[in-house]
């Protein structure tokens, strides 16, 4: 048998290697920006067209390349950054594999222009799919410009695999922000389709964070500084009350390189324990500096995961420093000029002397007096007011309709959300004929009888379904009812969040939102859908942003559908909410008036049935 193994031609090998390094336009952005930083640029410009599908160009004012280097830079394993394997453990540059340019040139049209400071003229090279098409001498400023066009032109499968422009642009912005955050001393600008997306002047770290995430961010930041033998930490965490539904504001940089580390993320999360709600994520922008010898960056093609020699120690130091900072911030405002004025004593209170707290006792109160009516004050403020279990049990047997209904109502008026409640076995209600038609069980399920047995409805999912169909109807027939706000509501978001909301603006309007302004970092709302409480608007929009981000929608995603799902999730009654009889009945009727009553918008069962047979079997 003849020998059959052959070495792959270079351009094929490059194409294969490219698959690892270049997954999408954002990967190209990352590699080019990192090269510019390694070239000691002081200003870097990123130009993107059609979310990188048509053009990605990075222009820097760095040291540039000689004609020979320019040609060599496109060869695989051609790098100026390391010479030997030992160098891998003392890295001070972003790149070191010498793979990026070769990979990019294998799957795109690339035009490079570069000039050394000391030279009069520069070099221009054009490459298409690893083929050098032209090399010329050009007049060009000091530094390097690399334009990447028609990405994946020779791999249609990869091109088709790309997501919608919105999604790809989101990834590009993510990479841009990561690099820009790690280097506040470099000027960065970004243009997309001829409009300027970011313009970040040279600044300190705090200003860089604020320039990227919006001016409102400033008041959210708590500084974290720590220096030990093995680790130096500097940066910020977000105050607990600003914790977000999304994980978009979580950044670790190790020696100025953005990295992902679930383990270290956990350290931060545990430092925030007890300070933020379940399901919320703390913001952090933390720079860790360690000895390059103690980390291995060469474990992942995109270099975003690294291996630490002593992860456990880093975890402990990180957790302790963040806790310490949060503690300081809680007890006394941090002594810096950016401190939060809100923490100061209001001026009008400064001169006032504190009065001693007094305890007020209702001396007339007799807990054993049966017909005792709680005084108005107690009814509102007391946390010890309980629905009397005795009366409840009585009513379970006696079934005095009017009394029962009355009680449910008056109780719901004084009920506090956090108040533990002594529930009767069932919250039971009567229909007009005095027959029991629905029960609420555990403040979670509505139980209703049907001819063939029993229906157990999950109140949260059922309500989601009802709201979802209602929202879809309103958005499609465009006739939502809006409630005018007395005072316009101003909400701050980062410019990327605003861009995201902008895509959904029309749909939001169809649900009843009225926007007076839609600016760079702020929106002004003058009307909201009827069922949306004003106090929740901000949470609802945040949830929406988070849902859109997490969905990573593909090109055929429907903004309307996503919006309806997200809003119905935010607005639906939750488990734990007690419902009046009328509410229960309304819920059941509305659910069965839906087109698809049996599943929630996310395809989970809204109810189950238990037939008489099912019961009979249990009693055999």
Q: Which of residues 131-150 bind ligand ADP (CB under 6 A)?
A: 144
Between 40 and 534, CB nearer to ligand ADP: 40
Which residue of 14, 15, 73, 495 would you call a contact of ligand ADP, by CB under 6 A? Answer: 73
Beta-bridged to residue 44, according to DSSP, are: 60, 188
Query: Binding of ligand ADP at residue 65 (CB under 6 A)?
Result: yes
Single out the residue of 477, 474, 417, 459 nearest to residue 574, CA to CA.
Answer: 459
Which residue of 81, 163, 202, 260 would you call a contact of ligand ADP, by CB under 6 A? Answer: 81
Secondary structure string (H, E, C) spanning 137-162: EECCCCEEEEEEECCCCCCHHHHHHC
CB of 330 to ligand ADP, least distance (A): 44
Phi, psi of 138 (to 5 degrees): -135, 160
Question: In the sheet where 221-227 sits, what is the strand order?
Answer: 221-227, 232-238, 284-289, 250-254, 257-259
CB of 40 to ligand ADP, least distance (A): 9
Query: Binding of ligand ADP at residue 39 (CB under 6 A)?
Result: yes
Give the integer Cα–Cα distance in Å for 412 and 417.
10
Give the integer Cα–Cα distance in Å for 295 and 304.
12
Please give the residue whose beta carbon sits closest to Mg ion in the complex. Answer: 95
Single out the residue of 216, 278, 226, 274 nearest to residue 249, CA to CA.
Answer: 216
Q: How many residues bind ligand ADP (CB under 6 A)?
A: 24
Q: Please choose, out of 71-79, 327-335, 417-425, 472-480, the segment that lies near ligand ADP by the rule CB under 6 A.
A: 71-79
> CB–CB of 425/396 below 8 Å?
yes
Query: Binding of ligand ADP at residue 264 (CB under 6 A)?
Result: no
Query: Binding of ligand ADP at residue 255 (CB under 6 A)?
Result: no
Which residue of 79, 261, 475, 568 would you call a contact of ligand ADP, by CB under 6 A? Answer: 79
Which residue of 14, 17, 25, 31 would you call a contact of ligand ADP, by CB under 6 A? Answer: 31
Single out the residue of 28, 30, 15, 25 nearest to residue 304, CA to CA.
Answer: 30
Strand-strand pairing, 250-254 and 232-238: unpaired
CB of 16 to ligand ADP, least distance (A): 16
Residue 494 touches which of Mg ion, ligand ADP, none (Cβ within 5-8 Å per kind): none
Between 31 and 542, CB nearer to ligand ADP: 31
Helix residue spans in 344-494 (DSSP H) = 376-381, 389-398, 401-414, 459-477
State the DSSP code for 241.
Answer: G
- Tell me how crowded residue 614 is: count the other CB atoms within 10 A of its CB: 12
Helix residue spans in 125-261 (DSSP H) = 156-161, 165-182, 205-213
Residue 469 touches which of Mg ion, ligand ADP, none (Cβ within 5-8 Å per kind): none
Which residue of 18, 21, 28, 36 would you call a contact of ligand ADP, by CB under 6 A? Answer: 36
Q: Please choose, out of 61-69, 252-260, 275-283, 547-555, the segment that lies near ligand ADP by the rule CB under 6 A.
A: 61-69
Q: Which of residues 30-69 bind Mg ion (CB under 5 A)?
A: 35
CB of 102 to ligand ADP, least distance (A): 6
Which residue of 54, 80, 280, 302 would you call a contact of ligand ADP, by CB under 6 A? Answer: 80
Please give the residue whose beta carbon sits closest to ligand ADP in the complex. Answer: 95
Residue 482 touches which of Mg ion, ligand ADP, none (Cβ within 5-8 Å per kind): none
Q: Please choose, out of 90-98, 446-454, 458-466, 563-571, the segment that lies near ligand ADP by the rule CB under 6 A.
A: 90-98
Give the integer Cα–Cα distance in Å for 431 and 401.
9
Count how many residues are written for the chain.
Answer: 620
Which residue of 14, 15, 27, 35 would you call a contact of ligand ADP, by CB under 6 A? Answer: 35
Query: Binding of ligand ADP at residue 95 (CB under 6 A)?
Result: yes
Give the integer Cα–Cα distance in Å for 598 and 581.
22
Burial class (CB in 10 A: 0-12, 13-18, 19+), 407: middle
Between 17 and 233, CB nearer to Mg ion: 17
Between 100 and 155, CB nearer to ligand ADP: 100
Vertex 288: Cα angle to 286 and 291 (nearest 5): 175
DSSP SS3 for 11: helix
CB of 518 to Mg ion, least distance (A): 38
C-alpha distances in angstroms, 498 versus 213, 495, 526?
11, 5, 17
Please report how many Cα atoms fall inside a 13 Å half-sphere around the Cα of residue 468, on the Cβ side.
22
CB of 52 to ligand ADP, least distance (A): 17
Give the integer Cα–Cα distance in Å for 451 and 428.
19
Q: Please choose, out of 29-37, 246-254, 298-306, 349-357, the segment that lies near Mg ion by the rule CB under 5 A.
A: 29-37
Query: Binding of ligand ADP at residue 78 (CB under 6 A)?
Result: yes
For residue 100 the two structure tokens come to: 């990026």
Which residue of 22, 28, 44, 96 would you call a contact of ligand ADP, by CB under 6 A? Answer: 96
Residue 581 touches which of ligand ADP, Mg ion, none (Cβ within 5-8 Å per kind): none
Strand-strand pairing, 453-458 and 445-450: antiparallel
Query: Binding of Mg ion at residue 100 (CB under 5 A)?
Result: yes
Give the integer Cα–Cα distance in Å for 538 and 551.
20
Which residue of 18, 59, 101, 264 would you call a contact of ligand ADP, by CB under 6 A? Answer: 101
Residue 282 touches which of ligand ADP, Mg ion, none (Cβ within 5-8 Å per kind): none
Query: Binding of ligand ADP at residue 99 (CB under 6 A)?
Result: yes
Beta-strand runs (E) in 255-298:
257-259, 284-289, 295-296
Q: Please choose, out of 95-103, 214-222, 284-292, 482-490, the segment that lies near ligand ADP by the rule CB under 6 A.
A: 95-103
> CB–CB of 44/184 below 8 Å?
no
Between 144 and 496, CB nearer to Mg ion: 144
CB of 176 to ligand ADP, least distance (A): 16
Vertex 224: Cα angle to 218 and 225 (nearest 5): 130
CB of 148 to ligand ADP, least distance (A): 12
Between 102 and 446, CB nearer to ligand ADP: 102
DSSP SS3 for 36: helix
Give the integer Cα–Cα distance in Å for 505 and 193.
21
CB of 549 to ligand ADP, least distance (A): 29
Residue 62 touches which of Mg ion, ligand ADP, none (Cβ within 5-8 Å per kind): ligand ADP
Residues 6+ apart with CB under 8 A from 273: none
* Residues that bind Mg ion in the complex, under the rule CB under 5 A: 35, 95, 100
Q: Which residues bind ligand ADP (CB under 6 A)?
A: 31, 35-36, 38-39, 60, 62-65, 73, 78-81, 95-102, 144
């Amino acid at each position: 048998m003849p020998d059959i193994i052959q070495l792959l031609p270079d351009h094929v090998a490059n194409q294969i290697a490219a698959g690892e390094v270049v997954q999408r336009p954002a990967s190209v952005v990352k590699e080019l920006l990192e090269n510019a930083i390694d070239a000691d640029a002081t200003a870097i410009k990123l130009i993107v067209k059609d979310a990188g599908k048509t053009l990605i160009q990075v222009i820097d004012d760095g040291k540039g390349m000689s004609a020979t280097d320019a040609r060599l830079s496109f060869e695989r394993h051609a790098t100026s950054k390391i010479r030997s394997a030992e160098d891998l453990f003392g890295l001070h540059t972003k790149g070191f594999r010498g793979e990026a340019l070769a990979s990019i040139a294998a799957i795109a049209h690339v035009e490079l222009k570069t000039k050394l400071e000391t030279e009069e003229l520069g070099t221009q090279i054009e490459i298409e799919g690893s083929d050098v098409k032209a090399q010329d001498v050009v007049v060009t400023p000091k530094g390097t410009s690399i334009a990447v066009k028609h990405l994946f032109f020779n791999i249609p499968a990869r091109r088709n695999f790309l997501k919608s422009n919105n999604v790809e642009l989101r990834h590009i912005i993510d990479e841009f922000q990561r690099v820009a955050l790690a280097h506040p001393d470099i000027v960065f600008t970004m243009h997309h389709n001829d409009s300027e997306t970011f313009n970040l002047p040279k600044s300190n770290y705090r200003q860089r964070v604020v320039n990227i995430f919006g001016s409102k961010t400033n008041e959210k930041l708590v500084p974290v500084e720590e220096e030990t033998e093995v680790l130096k930490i500097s940066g910020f965490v977000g105050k607990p009350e600003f914790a977000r539904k999304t994980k978009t504001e979580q950044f670790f940089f190790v020696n100025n390189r953005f990295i992902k580390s679930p383990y270290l993320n956990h350290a931060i999360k545990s430092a925030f324990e007890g300070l933020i709600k379940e399901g919320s994520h703390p913001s952090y922008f933390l720079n860790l500096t360690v000895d390059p010898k103690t980390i291995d960056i060469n474990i992942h093609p995109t270099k975003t995961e690294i291996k630490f020699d002593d992860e456990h120690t880093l975890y402990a130091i990180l957790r302790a420093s963040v806790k310490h900072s949060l503690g300081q911030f809680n007890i006394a405002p941090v002594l810096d000029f950016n401190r939060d004025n809100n923490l100061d004593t209001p001026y009008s209170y400064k001169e006032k002397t504190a009065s001693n707290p007094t305890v007020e006792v209702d001396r007339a109160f007799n807990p054993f007096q049966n017909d005792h009516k709680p005084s108005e004050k107690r009814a509102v403020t007391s946390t010890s007011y309980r629905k009397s279990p005795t009366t409840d049990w009585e009513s379970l047997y006696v079934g005095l309709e009017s009394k029962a209904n009355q009680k449910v109502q008056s109780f719901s008026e004084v009920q506090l959300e956090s108040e533990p409640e002594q529930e009767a076995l069932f919250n039971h209600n009567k229909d007009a004929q005095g027959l029991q038609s629905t029960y609420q069980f555990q403040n979670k399920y509505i139980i209703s009888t049907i001819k063939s047995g029993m229906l157990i409805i999950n109140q949260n999912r059922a309500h989601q379904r009802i709201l979802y169909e209602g929202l879809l109807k309103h958005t499609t027939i465009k006739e939502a009812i809006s409630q005018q706000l007395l005072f316009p509501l101003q909400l701050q978001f980062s410019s990327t969040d605003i861009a995201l909301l902008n895509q959904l603006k029309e749909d939001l309007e169809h649900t009843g939102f009225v926007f007076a302004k839609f600016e760079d970092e702020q929106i002004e709302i003058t009307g909201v859908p009827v069922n949306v409480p004003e106090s929740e608007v901000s949470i609802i929009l945040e949830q929406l942003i988070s849902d859109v981000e997490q969905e990573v929608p593909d090109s055929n995603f429907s903004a309307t559908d996503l919006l309806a799902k997200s809003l119905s999730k935010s607005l639906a009654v939750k488990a734990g909410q007690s419902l009046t009889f009328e509410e229960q009945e309304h819920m059941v009727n509305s659910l069965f008036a839906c087109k698809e009553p049996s599943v929630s918008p996310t395809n989970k069962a809204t109810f189950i049935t238990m037939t008489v047979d099912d019961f009979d079997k249990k009693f055999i």
